[in-house]
Structure 1
Amino acid sequence: MTELNGKPLDTYLEAAISGYQDAKAPMLASRVAMLYYEMLRHKDLYRDAPPLLIRMTGDDSDIRSGLFLEQAALCFLRIDPPMVRKYAFHLILAGHRFSKCGQREHAYGAYVAALDVYNGRGWSLIEDHIHFTLGRQSFHLSDMEAAVDFFLKLLRAGRQPASQQSAYLKEFLYIYKQFATRAPADRLAKFATLPLPDLEHSTIRVSLLEGHQPSHVVSSDDAWDSMETELFDEGYSRTPAPLRKTYAGRGNAAAVGKGGKTACAVGGIE
């Protein structure tokens, strides 16, 4: 880096950025950062650029943060050797910021570029997140056919819990209904087969008790024995204890069971 008064020029630029940030002047700090970034890019110092660009992101402006994150992603791709995963990850972050500020086309482009990296690598949760986001962005951009196609990829996966699959299916049906009202028949034929999940019959459990979640297959005798055990656990004894007579007073008798609890009481015994 070029020197000025015996100090590297980047030292002055770093100090200027820090000063503007401390003074709560993000636009001036961004101006210096862009100047600094252009100097690094001119000298092919792409490895030094991402920390600078990521540092300039913040909550004060989503669109400015999205632009800095997008440029940081491109720098990761131009490093030798390219850091492809960091490139894709920062594109996702940039797309999220673009989406938050309503820049749907920029968000769509960032997510599509990231999908080229993640697709087919077996990272199912990342793929699901990208397909879901692209499906929504396509819907808001009025590209219903692309939206349906992205949601179909979510339904084919079958890697989510039941609640998540249900949410994806509901949103797909809403989007498909919107698409079906305006699309010609030949385009609808493309989506004729809906990839519903298969049920594993060997794992199905049927319970006759409300709220009961059976952990294994039980016979009818086992079920009744379980209910009997629960009944006795509520305060009854499986084998009634022998009764003994105690006299509480003239003309009254009480039969007391195990633990001193009264099992029955009768009067008129002489």
Structure 2
Amino acid sequence: MNQISQLAFVHPEAKLGDNNIIGPFCYIDKNTVIGDNNVLQNGVTIHTGARIGNGNEFFPGASISTKPQDLKFVGEETTCVVGDNNSIRENVTISRGTASKGTTIVGSNNLLMECVHVAHDCVMGNGCIIGNATKFAGEVVIDDNAIVSSTVLCHQFCRIGGYVMIQGGSRFSQDIPPYIIAGKDPTKYCGINLIGLRRRGFSNEKIQMIHDAYRILYSKGLISEGIAEIRSTLPSCPEIDYIIDFVQSSKRGIIR
């Protein structure tokens, strides 16, 4: 049975699962779907188009599936998908999609700290930690297990690789490849995310291979030369293949 405060508004067309807690002054609009075991603390707004999984906690002031901040948006029906077991802290805003992709996606087991903004058509993976007041512009992709510190500004269409650590206050308009630390001003490659990889159970051999891959990549004037040498000198494995695929598919180029 759901526990819904008498001071909350739940649209009669909203679909709620079981065992949800809806606090006072929450607003849940029509065309919304909420799974089981979610907690909405006071003052949470769930706008039309939201598709929320199970076991999430939304803190006061969170606003989910908001109208996109995109002048090309003309009211088309789009969605905002939130997975399971996320912690969405105070005043986080997540916009729904536009006609470009149709949906904004936040995966599972993520922590979005206070005042994070996830714009329209972004895709966030699983296990990410996003620091206070960080802002992602439209159509950004964040791969699994990325750590993005506070007050980071990410340009539209960028991609952030998995297992990265981005230092607080960074701002960038190019892609951040996986497994690295990015920081300074302008934002640049600052080495391998050694502590993060060890915490995630990467072996010393895997870490050394990742280090060697980036040593080669960043020692060449042309990215294509670096990729060719990586392929010729390092054995193929999922980590090396991920780096190569990420760099080759980058449309905005990677930070140097």
TM-score (norm 1): 0.26
Larger helix fraction of residues: 1
Structure with bigger RCO (C-alpha 8 Å, 6+ apart): 2
TM-score (norm 2): 0.27
Larger strand fraction of residues: 2
Quick check: which has more Rg, 1 or 2? 1
